[in-house]
């Protein structure tokens, strides 16, 4: 699996949620903080996203906006419209009226509350991907299919929508990174040496990697890899190796019944004791406690 896909898989938990709502001006809808990554897609019409702090963001048909950390905000048809609604389970999907019509698809991806990854951590509070004539045709296609499934549910829709939502997140993040200056993780995805080292770590976290090993995979000197890796990923190669091992272990603990020694071996530790010590240092819980802890995704209103 490629680095972006594997990273999102590691930090995701539960099934994504999605719903469509239609409003006629004037309207205003508040979205509280959610324990995950939220998103909005403007299917028709236009609106404004107003953050708790910062400048309003104009949205038009075809725009996608992600809230990587589930930040609170409001959506309004116009900046002077009152906010009279709050997103909650069971609300009307459509409210008719004489004003201009807006149609939006809103949803959220639940994340493990104790999992984190710098790829998402470094993103801005609001990731705006505007509709453009040269936009990624894959992203546009996913949006069209999702909108059609929500508008006219058929046999298989319940299975299709979550899969489409997973793809939407990946395509939206890819579109964002591909249109950024080559710094941070956007730079990591465009630096062949750094990307090769990342792929090696992701493919084989159990291996006792050294910087010379990774620099050989990357095809650059040790000093060059260390400098470029830290500049893009945000930490040295072996620090990231430990991070990825612990993130992989946390996913295996929650999503599988693999014995602790088996997980230890999967992430590069020869003994259960050594693994447990490293895991507790990262998460504050022993692996067995982490496995038993309640990390069920919260119900997120969209």
Residues 174 and 232 in one domain: no
Three-class secondary structure of residue 76 per DSSP: strand
Which stretches within the chain are classed as H helix? 3-11, 118-121, 137-151, 157-178, 184-190, 192-203, 211-218, 222-233, 237-255, 260-266, 272-283, 287-292
- Angle at Cα 183 formed by Cα 48 and Cα 201, nearest 5°? 115
Predicted structure pTM score: 0.88
CA dist 108 and 15 (Å) reads 9
Write down how long the chain is: 302
Single out the residue in 145, 178, 211 at which a domain terminates. 178
Single out the residue in 128, 157, 178 at which a domain terminates. 178
Residues 274 and 160 in one domain: no
Is residue 301 domain-resident? no
Exposure letters 145-157 (e unless 16+ CB within 10 A, then b): ebbebbeeeeeee
Max Cα distance, the chain (Å): 68
- pLDDT at site 132: 82
- pLDDT at site 188: 95
Q: Edge to edge, what strands does the sheet with 46-51 contain?
A: 57-60, 46-51, 73-76, 28-31, 85-86
Q: What is the pLDDT of residues 119-178, one digit of tens each?
A: 988 999 999 999 987 778 889 999 999 989 988 899 999 999 989 999 999 999 999 999
- pLDDT at site 37: 92
Q: How many domains is the chain built from?
A: 2
CA dist 178 and 114 (Å) reads 28
Which has the closest alpha carbon to 234: 277, 195, 188, 266? 188
Is residue 302 domain-resident? no
Residues 62 and 46 in one domain: yes
Q: Are 201 and 214 in contact (CB under 8 A)?
A: yes
Tell me, what CATH number does 280's domain have?
Answer: 1.10.10.60
- pLDDT at site 34: 86
Which stretches within 179-286 are classed as H helix? 184-190, 192-203, 211-218, 222-233, 237-255, 260-266, 272-283
Residues 59 and 141 in one domain: yes
**C-alpha dihedral (190, 196, 202, 207), degrees to nearest 10:** -160
Q: Would you tell me how many other CB atoms lie within 10 Å of the CB of residue 136? A: 16
Three-class secondary structure of residue 230 per DSSP: helix
- pLDDT at site 302: 58
| Structural domain span for residue 27 | 3-178
Enumerate residue ranges in the chain where pLDDT < 50. Answer: none
């Amino acid at each position: 699996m490629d680095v972006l896909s594997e990273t999102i898989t590691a930090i995701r938990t539960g099934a994504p949620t999605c719903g469509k709502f239609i409003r006629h001006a004037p309207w205003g809808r508040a979205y509280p903080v959610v324990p995950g990554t939220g998103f909005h897609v403007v299917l028709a019409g236009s609106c404004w996203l107003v953050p708790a702090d910062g400048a309003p963001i104009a949205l038009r048909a075809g725009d996608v906006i992600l809230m990587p950390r589930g930040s609170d905000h409001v959506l309004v048809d116009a900046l002077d419209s009152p906010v009279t609604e709050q997103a909650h389970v069971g609300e009307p999907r459509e409210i008719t009226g004489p004003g201009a019509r807006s149609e939006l698809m809103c949803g959220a991806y639940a994340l493990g509350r104790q999992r984190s990854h710098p790829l998402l951590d470094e993103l801005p509070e609001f990731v705006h991907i505007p509709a453009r004539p040269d936009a990624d045709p894959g992203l546009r296609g996913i949006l069209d299919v999702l909108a059609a499934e929500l508008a006219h549910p058929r046999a298989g829709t319940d299975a299709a929508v979550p899969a489409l939502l997973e793809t939407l997140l990946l395509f939206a993040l890819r579109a964002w990174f591909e249109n950024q200056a080559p710094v941070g993780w956007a730079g990591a995805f465009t630096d062949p040496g750094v990307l090769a080292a990342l792929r090696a770590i992701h493919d084989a976290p159990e291996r006792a990697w050294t910087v010379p090993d990774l620099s050989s995979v990357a095809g650059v000197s040790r000093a060059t890899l260390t400098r470029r890796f830290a500049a893009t990923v945000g930490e040295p190669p072996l620090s990231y190796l430990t991070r990825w091992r612990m993130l992989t272990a946390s996913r295996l603990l929650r999503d599988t019944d693999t014995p602790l020694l088996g997980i230890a071996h999967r992430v590069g530790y020869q003994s259960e004791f050594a693994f447990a010590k490293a895991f507790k240092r990262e998460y504050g819980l022993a692996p067995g406690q982490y496995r038993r802890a309640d990390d069920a995704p919260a119900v997120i209103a969209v």
